[in-house]
Structure 1
Amino acid sequence: MIEASFTGLLRTLAYIVLFYYLFKFLIRIFAPILMKKAMSKVQQKMEDQVRQQQNYQQNTARDTSQAEVNPQEKKKVGEYIDYEDVD
């Protein structure tokens, strides 16, 4: 049966602490860069959506203005009757 030595335990704890502080240090360096990239992607998507919405509104406004210039006569189908349920 193999027993853990005290020096092995200390070495493992030292590695854990070292990796923790190294990870913390790297996060402080790279987190702002990653956040800037993420925010620029979100901003670009929002700008694309705004452009699409503006194009859609312009197209619908153009279509409605053309419909007003050339109104089409609607066919009269008949009289509207509202039915009610009788209990």
Structure 2
Amino acid sequence: MGLLKTIFFILVFYYLFRFIARVIVPFLLGRQMNKMNNHYKREQSFKTQKKREEGKVTIQKKHKSPKKVSPDVGEYIDYEEVKD
């Protein structure tokens, strides 16, 4: 009796999982595709707004952030390994 009950529950959960997957997965994929499509459209509109005159050269430099070193690190000492 216990084995039949276990097999029954396994089958019920299996078919329930398949049904839910068929309903929810396409919804989630469609939502993700809409997000990607909107992002692509924003990128394209941003690129078209920044059209430059032909032959004009612009140099943009990225600002380097200063390196953050913890005061607990101490000094670095270069050493050579001596083999006996």
Alignment of 1:19-38 (within 5 A): 19-38=13-32
SS at match of 2:11: helix
Deviations 1:29-81 (A, max 9, x none): 2222222211100101111111222223x2x32892xxxxxxxxxxxxxxxxx
The unaligned stretches of length 5 or more in structure 1 are: 1-6, 65-87
Root-mean-square deviation (CA, aligned residues, Å) is 2.0
Say which structure is richer in helix: 1
Alignment of 1:52 with 2:46, yes or no, is: yes
Q: What is aligned with 1:79?
A: none
Are 1:61 and 2:30 matched, yes or no?
A: no
- Aligned partner of 1:42 among 25, 36, 42: 36
> Based on CA coordinates, which of the two structures has the bigger radius of gyration?
1
Cα distance in 1 between the residues matched to 2:14 and 2:6: 12
Q: Segments of 4+ in structure 1 off by > 6 A? A: none
Unaligned ranges ≥5, structure 2: 57-84
**TM-score, reference length from structure 2:** 0.55
How many aligned positions are there? 56
